[in-house]
Amino acid sequence: MKINFNLGGEDVAVIEVWDHLVPELAKKIRDALPFTSYLQHGKLTGDLLLMQTKILADWENIFYPEDLAAQVQAEGTEIRGAVSYYGPRQQISIMYGNDIPPEPLPVSGIGRVIEGADQLELIGLRTWLEPGAQVKLSLIEE
């Protein structure tokens, strides 16, 4: 499934949700789309954009960010663009940069930004200073 990330009326990114790895979460996200939320910045969790949702779901494709940071470093890849869901707070998060400090709580890895990662990096820096921009997520029909 592909999701359009629209900020203030401008399409800025495309998120791919891994239906095969998170089938229950993907269904709940699909059922909730389109929806509007407000961007927040993770104050203690690195380069992280957060969006509150109304989705209630258990963990799927669970990982600990601390472990992912080690894996990314070992593989020489990037964390930038990783998309997660954190059930206890009902938030979808996007790593817009490569700064990921140790985090002892599990999350569900649900997908990846496949277009617009550079745009999200600029948006992330702006959100750090001025949170609350309106974002709309909508399904891209394929």
Facing residues of 36 across strands?
Answer: 136
* Parallel, antiparallel or unpaired: strands 10-17 and 91-95: unpaired
Domains and CATH numbers, the chain: 2-137 (2.40.100.20)
pLDDT, tens digit (0-9, with 9 covering 90-100), for 33-84: 999 999 999 876 678 899 999 999 999 998 877 777 677 677 777 888 999 9
Q: Which residues contact 46 (CB under 8 A, 6 or more apart)?
A: 95, 97, 99, 100, 101
Residue 111, token pair as written in the block: 């997908």
Residue 112, token pair as written in the block: 């990846």
pLDDT, tens digit (0-9, with 9 covering 90-100), for 88-136: 889 999 999 887 766 678 889 999 999 999 999 999 999 999 999 999 9
Radius of gyration of the CA atoms of the chain, in A = 14
Q: Is the Cα dihedral 47, 53, 56, 61 positive or negative? A: negative
How does DSSP classify residue 50? E
Provide the whole-model pTM: 0.91
